[in-house]
């Protein structure tokens, strides 16, 4: 397993519990939008504690970017990452991931599950190929939405926000369940990209298949 020590160039909170990290890009290091790598913190007691995070930068960028949800309720890697700032070092490992763009379809994300889709959507937008894609993004409250303004700029009316614990003008205040899918999706023969907590992914995939989606059209991290 390869290791690349990179310096943190920027570190900034973009929501109350999500921090954006911009780091150096090792020479020859490449990824396909939607993929991830294992990351650790380059200090003795943490360097062997690897956690997977998705690239959110454009593939051709001169730097790498991650948007990481931090959990402060226990002494883990993400809580330690809350203390990592510009000038500190991270260790990147091999690239992996099954989520890759195939053809236009519907992206269904919950919480930080949006991160694999950010690089994909940015790439499609840059290439002027985003038409025909739709994003349904589920969060607890509006404060949890990651990059809401940018996602709206890219997708316009094809950006659907779902909030499960808040009723706000412009947002759908309900869960993504079978009835929601029936009401909001006309064609179940298209591609579906699903990412979020394991229970979200398994529930959505099961419901999509039950409603007529082909297993070959479901793209998710297996």
pLDDT digits (tens, 9 = 90+) for 143-195: 999 999 999 999 999 999 999 887 776 666 678 999 999 999 999 999 999 99
- Please state, in angstroms and rounded to a whole number, the distance separating the CA atoms of residues 45 and 167: 44
Give the residues across from 18 on adjacent strands: 69
**Which tokens sit at 75?**
């002494």
Model pTM above 0.85: yes
- Please state, in angstroms and rounded to a whole number, the distance separating the CA atoms of residues 152 and 197: 23
At 186-200, the pLDDT tens digits run: 999 999 999 999 999
Give the residues across from 65 on adjacent strands: 22
Q: Which fold has domain 105-219?
A: Rossmann fold (3.40.50)
Q: What is the edge-to-edge ordering of all strands in the sheet holding 89-96?
A: 51-54, 36-41, 89-96, 4-13, 18-24, 63-69
Give the residues across from 91 on adjacent strands: 5, 40
Helices marked H in the chain: 77-81, 115-126, 148-155, 178-184, 198-210
For residue 116, the model assigns a pLDDT of 97
**Which tokens sit at 81?**
């990452």
Q: Going along the chain, which residue ranges are E strands?
A: 4-13, 18-24, 36-41, 51-54, 63-69, 89-96, 105-110, 134-139, 159-163, 191-195, 218-219
Tens of pLDDT along the chain (222 residues)?
789 999 999 999 999 999 999 999 999 999 999 999 999 999 999 999 999 999 999 999 999 999 999 998 878 999 999 999 999 999 999 999 989 999 999 999 999 999 999 999 999 999 999 999 999 999 999 999 999 999 999 999 999 999 988 777 666 667 899 999 999 999 999 999 999 999 999 999 999 999 999 999 999 998
Reported as type and span, the H/E element at residue 33 is none
Residue 115 has phi, psi (to 5 degrees) of -60, -40
Q: Where in the chain is the domain with CATH 3.40.50.80?
A: 105-219
- Please state, in angstroms and rounded to a whole number, the distance separating the CA atoms of residues 130 and 51: 30
Q: Where in the chain is the domain with CATH 2.40.30.10?
A: 4-96
- Please state, in angstroms and rounded to a whole number, the distance separating the CA atoms of residues 59 and 57: 6
Residue 162 has phi, psi (to 5 degrees) of -120, 125
For residue 74, the model assigns a pLDDT of 78
For residue 75, the model assigns a pLDDT of 80
- Output the CATH code of domain 4-96: 2.40.30.10
Q: Are 46 and 111 in contact (CB under 8 A)?
A: no
**Which tokens sit at 114?**
């949006």
- Please state, in angstroms and rounded to a whole number, the distance separating the CA atoms of residues 196 and 38: 18
Q: Are 151 and 56 in contact (CB under 8 A)?
A: no
């Amino acid at each position: 397993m390869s290791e690349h020590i990179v310096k943190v160039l920027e570190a900034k909170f973009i929501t109350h519990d999500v921090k954006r990290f911009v780091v150096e890009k090792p020479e020859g290091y490449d990824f396909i939008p939607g993929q991830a790598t294992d990351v650790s913190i380059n200090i003795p007691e943490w360097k062997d504690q690897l956690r997977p995070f998705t690239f959110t930068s454009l593939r051709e960028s001169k730097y790498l970017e991650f948007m990481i949800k931090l959990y402060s309720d226990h002494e883990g890697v993400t809580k330690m990452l809350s203390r990592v700032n510009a000038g500190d070092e991270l260790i990147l490992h091999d690239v992996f991931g099954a989520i890759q763009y195939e053809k236009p379809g519907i992206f269904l994300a919950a919480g930080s599950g949006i991160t694999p889709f950010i690089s994909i959507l940015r790439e499609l937008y840059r290439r002027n190929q985003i038409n025909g894609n739709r994003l349904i993004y589920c969060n607890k409250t509006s404060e949890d939405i990651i990059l809401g303004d940018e996602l709206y700029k890219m997708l316009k009316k094809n950006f659907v926000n779902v909030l499960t614990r808040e009723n706000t003008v412009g947002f759908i205040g309900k869960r993504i369940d079978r009835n929601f899918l029936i009401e909001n999706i006309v064609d179940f023969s298209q591609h579906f990209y699903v990412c979020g907590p394991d229970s979200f992914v398994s529930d959505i995939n099961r419901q999509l298949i039950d409603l007529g989606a082909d297993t070959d059209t479901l793209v998710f991290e297996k």
